[in-house]
Amino acid sequence: MSRSIALLICLVGGLTMLVSPFLPMATGWANEVTDWFNILAAMAFVLGGGSLLKVQLMRLSARGPGWGYSAVTLLAFVVTLWVGLGKVGVVADASAPAVAWSGKPDDEGSAFWWIYLYVMTPITSTLFAVLAFYVASAAFRAFRAKNLEATLLLVTAFIILLGRTFAGVVLTGWLPDWASGLRLENLAVTIMDVFNTAGNRAIIIGIALGVASTGIRLMLGLDRSYLGGDA
């Protein structure tokens, strides 16, 4: 019963979205349903937090290897929640200075803002920045012109890397106007405009066809994997 209701809900939700572009009177309904979807997405953040809490508490109680790090994660999570939900250090908004809770949680000077600026920002941005080192190392080890395909990839990468910096101007800026299409910066534009556009366009069309067929399978209940095995 639970499974049948779920399949019906899936079908109705999907159909509402599908018919709305064709039936103007269904637009309001589709917006209402999408709005519920968006609110559920906010609930999913809460679910994610709850799930993290559950997993870390289990690791902590099991006292397995690295349980100290679980304690750190839990502490960081709880402190962030407390200062954010409690608007610690937030002053009232200028539009309603008499209401203490009217300020935004991430206002400059608040504890939540402090966490954003001095904890979230440096860690997340450095985690991405470190990839520059790994890309360099991997390129040295694995980027080999072994055959025609690999050579094409490599030469394209060189043109983009040179053409998108001042190196392109220095190396090929001397070419006369009638050969300006061969300047590295112009070659980089041509690659993006012609070859990259064609290749990516085929990928995009292929993905779209896949999305459409998967959507139909889900709505018709042919793909039920999201319901779990024992449903």
Partner 1 sequence: MSDVIANQSEPTQGRWWIGLFLVIAVLVAIRAGIGEGMGRVYVQTESTSYVSTEGEGGRVSWSAVPGVTEDSVTIDRDVFRTAGQYRAAEAAAPGQQAIRLSWDRTIGLWLAAFFTLAVFSFLAGDNPAYKLTESIVIGVSAGYWMVVAFWETLVPKLLAQLAPDLVKAWCMPNLEGGAFNPVALVPLGLGIMLLSQLTPLGRHVGRWPLAFVIGTFAGLKMVSHVESDIIEQVRATVLPLVVSSEDGSLAAWASLRNVLIVTGVLCTLAYFVFSVEHKGAVGRAARVGVWFLMITFGSAFGFTVMGRIALLAARFEFLFIDWLWLIDPKGERGMSVVAAVMQSG
Partner 2 sequence: MSGTLDRRWIYLAMMLAVALPILWNGVTGKTFPESPTPPSQACFDAIEALPAGSRVLVSFDYDPASEGELAPMATTFLRHLMHKGLRPVIIALWPLGPTKAEETIANVMKVDFPDRVSGRDYVNLGFQTGNEGVLKVIGTDFRKQFPVDRSGTPVDRLPIMEGITKVGDFPLVITISAGYPGGKEWVQYVSSANPGLVLLAGVTGVQASQVYSYYPGQLRGMLAAIKGAAEYEALVSAAIDGDRVTAPKYTEARRRMAPQLFGHLLLIALIVIGNAMYFAQRRCKAVAP
Residues forming contacts to partner 2 in the complex (CB under 8 A) are 17, 21, 27-28, 30-31, 34-35, 37-39, 41-42, 44-45, 93-96, 102, 104, 106, 108, 113, 116, 120-121, 124-125, 127-129, 132-133, 135-137, 139-141, 143-145, 154, 157-158, 161-162, 164-167, 169, 185, 189, 192-193, 196-197, 200-201, 203-204
- Taking contact as CB under 8 A, which single stretch among the options 57-65, 143-151, 172-180 is the one that binds partner 1? 143-151
| Rounded distance between C-alpha atoms, residue 225 and residue 10, angstroms | 13
Residue 185, binding choice from partner 1, partner 2, none, Cβ under 5 to 8 Å by partner class? partner 2
- Taking contact as CB under 8 A, which single stretch among the options 57-65, 78-86, 171-179 is the one that binds partner 1? 78-86
Residue 58, binding choice from partner 2, partner 1, none, Cβ under 5 to 8 Å by partner class? none
| Rounded distance between C-alpha atoms, residue 219 and residue 226, angstroms | 12
Residues 202-221, mask of contacts with partner 1 (x by CB under 8 A): xxxxxxxx-xx-xxx-xx--
CB of 122 to partner 1, least distance (A): 4
DSSP-derived secondary structure for 61-82: HHT-TTHHHHHHHHHHHHHHHH
DSSP-derived secondary structure for 105-169: TT-TTSHHHHHIIIIIHHHHHHHHHTHHHHHHHHHHHH----SHHHHHHHHHHHHHHHHTSHHHH
